[in-house]
Amino acid sequence: MKKYVITFIIFITLFSGISYASAYVSDKTVGLGLMFGEPSGLSAKYWLSKNNAIDAGIGWAFIGRNGISMHADYLFQHFNFLSKNPKLFFYCGLGGSFGINEQNQKTLIKNNRVSSSSSTSRIGVRAPAGISYIFDSPFDIFFEIVPILDLVPGVSFGFDAAIGGRIYF
């Protein structure tokens, strides 16, 4: 009996946000907008179901990974995790990142300093976690922190963070 009660509680906890999300994503499933932070650029989100979405972004990274940065993540939305307010929710997920870093190198040629640049590609795994607020109009805002494990060209660990908003169509 005890395991049935625990199973029921887990089931209710996991799926309690479905009714809140259904009205929002039923007719407007694609969101496009801007994100500011690391990286800064364009953000997109596509709701797959009431609690799952795919998020993607492309932008310019300024700190550490100076260059173009792209990512795509599979997200799980948790509507009653932070608050009883159905418009404020927590999300987390797993995805990948790809970037082209520009590295400035200085070369000495016959006593003259010449600045040249080269680029390095990077591929990594990311695990975003954030909060989002859905307005009554087809608009949301979000804040996320993302640990990233770069695997190529070498193993390194870092963080990204962004705040942004999207309009849904």
d(CA 17, CA 134): 13
- Alpha helix ranges (H) inside 89-160: none
Rounded CA separation 98/130 (Å): 20
CATH of the domain at 54: 2.40.160.20
Distance CA 169, CA 29 (A): 7
Cis peptide before 153 (omega within 30 of 0): yes
Find the helix or strand (DSSP H, E) in which 4 lies: helix 2-15
Query: pLDDT tens digits for the chain (169 residues)?
Result: 444 444 444 443 443 343 334 334 447 899 999 999 999 999 999 999 989 999 999 999 988 778 999 999 999 998 877 677 778 999 999 999 999 987 654 444 444 454 455 678 999 999 999 999 999 889 999 999 999 999 999 999 999 999 999 999 9
Q: State the virtual CA torsion across 90, 93, 95, 97 in degrees, nearest 10.
A: 30
Q: What is the domain count for the chain?
A: 1
Domain range for 58? 2-168
